[in-house]
Amino acid sequence: MIKEIHIPDIGDLKDVAIVEINLRPGDHIAAEDTVMTLESDKATMDIPAPYAGKVVELLVAEGDRVAAGALVMRVETDAESGTTVPPAETAQVASLRPSPQAHAELLVIGAGPGGYTAAFRAADLGRKVTLIDARPTLGGVCLNIGCIPSKALLHVAKLIGDAAEGAAHGVRFGPPQIDLGAVRDWKDQVVGKLTGGLAGLARRRKVTIVQGMARFTGPHEVEVETPDGSRRIRFDQAIIAAGSSPVRLPFLPDDPRIIDSTGALELKQVPQRLLVLGGGIIGLEMAQVYHALGSRITIAERLDQIIPGADKDIVKPLMSRISARYDAVHLETNMRAVEAGETLTVSFEGKTGNWQAGYDAILVAVGRRLNGARLAAEAAGVTVSDQGFIPVDAQMRSSQPHIFAIGDVVGQPMLAHKATHEAKIAAEVACGHKAGFDPVAIPSVAYTDPEIAWAGLTEAQARTQGRELRVERFPWAASGRALSMGRGEGLTKVLFDPDSSRILGAAITGPNAGELLAEAVLAIEMAADAADLALTIHPHPTLSETLGFTAEAFEGTLTDL
């Protein structure tokens, strides 16, 4: 007998998206098997089969939008098992609103790269996981308002830059016609694909998602402020992955023209004159985006170099490039006051004296503040510093053994890829596995133009430690691949132990430096020496062979210089 399956009563929800279909025509299903999953901005809903039988016709596809009563498939029912599910019970709602007395075997606070990785790994290991985040989408700062949207905008900036530089190679284009709304849509589309993918991964693992702000009320309980009120969740174990927030300077006026990185990524407008306060990675990346879109840029950095964590020789090509293109790059400079009028008048104090200048917008990118102090973790017996730092051991345990912490809140470097590795350690230890976080090198990358990437020991750190080094450099001016790209300003540098010849650190500046660095990170992690790197046959002509050339220089076999 052929029977129809309709979308059951789903409350006041209408025009809901089908995000996953679990079957195809010809598949056999049992009564109450989940046939598809719907998702709105408030809830996810598993739609079970009211009948057992064989699917003969599927009338919808993933991405379609449906409402209660919509016909979605036809089933040839089994004569032996005509079991039906009462209509009132057919919509299994996995809501973003937890029950008032919910319980989690493992509770994860924060759904950024660290948090969702921890949740998914623990679920894979058999734990029932609840994941809490203030945002309606997973991914945290990185996917929603950080790493990913900034890289989408940097891609746009690169297209504009490449077109402008084509004239040097005999290819000329007219001035770019920039549709700011379309650029925003492109960025949001990239973010949407990734956050939507995470939602699917969470459903597949049956991770319960709760939208809200969590605060500990005891060693095994949190209170969550959700859009629908306060709820309490008890837990056996917890992982804190609360991340960090942009620092805001207290003397700045409350003015919409003063923005942080989140505001910059919204791309509401392109100011004629933009002051970027802070010469770190975030500020420089956003300066590159806005410069490509037409802003005149000024950088103000209080230290004596941009990107202070990297060696000066690696930063030099970027410094030269932006100094020639931007209005100014002020080092060893502090901003003392801002007066908001028709323009934003900024008072500076620098090594050459004091001065004032006017800007149409200010991007504040002077660092990030840890969110560890926002959780009332002390109520759970977790030690938290005044700065929001949570001390942990190599297994990522806090001072309360059943509560772990990962990511920004456990200290530098505040990087997504560090957090994801810490996340797996925490999840595995929580599930009874033996694991520990003990990396030899954690890479850092500035996605500027040129890119800057480094890992392991830097020359500055070696000098501070009084450690002997042998440093080999290969200039990209001698690289055929770099010259064919018109980018001979790059540099590859590797730091070796002079006695054992082990690779201790590496740094690269130039296009795709972040991709190239991975080989060096692996070499450092595996305790490779110069011969290992020199004897590895690199493809030619590539930028990657510059790493091999530095090792050949150490070995005394280099013939390319």
pLDDT of residue 561: 93
pLDDT of residue 35: 85
Q: For the chain, what are the domain ranges?
A: 2-76, 102-245+370-431, 258-366, 443-555
Which pLDDT tens digit goes with each residue over 498-529?
999 999 999 999 999 999 999 999 999 999 99
For residues 368 and 320, is the Cβ–Cβ distance under 8 A?
no
Q: How confident is the model at residue 98 (pLDDT cuts 50, 70, 90)?
A: very low
Nearest to 284 by CA among 157, 162, 178: 157
pLDDT of residue 542: 97
CA 118 vs CA 60, 130, 419, 438: distances in Å: 34, 11, 9, 17
Q: Which residues does 517 contact at the CB level (< 8 Å), separation at least 6?
A: 443, 445, 453, 454, 455, 506, 508
Distance CA 261, CA 326 (A): 19
Q: pLDDT at residue 539 above 90?
A: yes
One CATH from 3.40.190.10, 2.40.50.150, 3.40.1190.20, 2.40.50.100 for 2-76: 2.40.50.100
Higher pLDDT, 305 or 39: 305
Which pLDDT tens digit goes with each residue over 439-453?
999 999 999 999 999
Residue numbers annotated as active site: 540
Nearest to 147 by CA among 191, 105, 116, 115: 191
DSSP state of 397: B
Which pLDDT tens digit goes with each residue over 233-259?
999 999 999 999 998 888 899 999 999
Q: Which residues does 537 contact at the CB level (< 8 Å), separation at least 6?
A: none
Cβ burial 150-164 (10 Å sphere, 16+ → b, else e): bebbbebbbebbeee
pLDDT of residue 82: 42
pLDDT of residue 41: 61
Distance CA 435, CA 376 (A): 28
Q: Could you give the dihedral angle defined by the CA atoms of residues 71, 76, 79 and 84, in that order, rounded to the nearest 10 degrees?
A: -20
- CATH fold of 443-555, please? Enolase-like; domain 1 (3.30.390)
Q: pLDDT at residue 418 above 70?
A: yes
Q: How confident is the model at residue 53 (pLDDT cuts 50, 70, 90)?
A: confident
Three-state DSSP class for residue 97: coil
Q: How confident is the model at residue 79 (pLDDT cuts 50, 70, 90)?
A: low
Which residues are part of a known binding site for FAD? 151, 408, 414-417
For residues 105 and 98, is the Cβ–Cβ distance under 8 A?
no
Give the H or E element holding residue 315.
helix 312-325
Task: Indicate the range of 31-40, 68-77, 342-351, 400-409 predicted with least confidence.
Answer: 31-40
Helix residue ranges, H only, 134-241: 140-145, 147-165, 180-204
Task: Indicate the range of 55-69, 154-168, 434-448, 526-540 predicted with least confidence.
Answer: 55-69
Higher pLDDT, 242 or 38: 242
CATH class of 102-245+370-431: alpha beta
* CATH number attached to the domain at 258-366: 3.50.50.60
Which residues are part of a known binding site? 151, 278-285, 301, 367, 408, 414-417
Mean pLDDT of 25-37: 83
Q: Tokens 């991914």, residue?
A: 139
Percentage of the chain beyond pLDDT 70 is 94
Domains 2-76 and 258-366 agree in fold? no
pLDDT of residue 83: 41
Mean pLDDT of 260-265: 94
- How buried is residue 37: exposed, middle or buried, by Cβ count under 10 Å (0-12/13-18/19+)? buried
DSSP state of 311: -
User: 206's torsion region: left (phi>0), alpha (psi -120 to 50) or beta?
Assistant: left
Distance CA 490, CA 250 (A): 39
pLDDT of residue 470: 97
Q: In the predicted model, what is the mean pLDDT of the chain?
A: 91
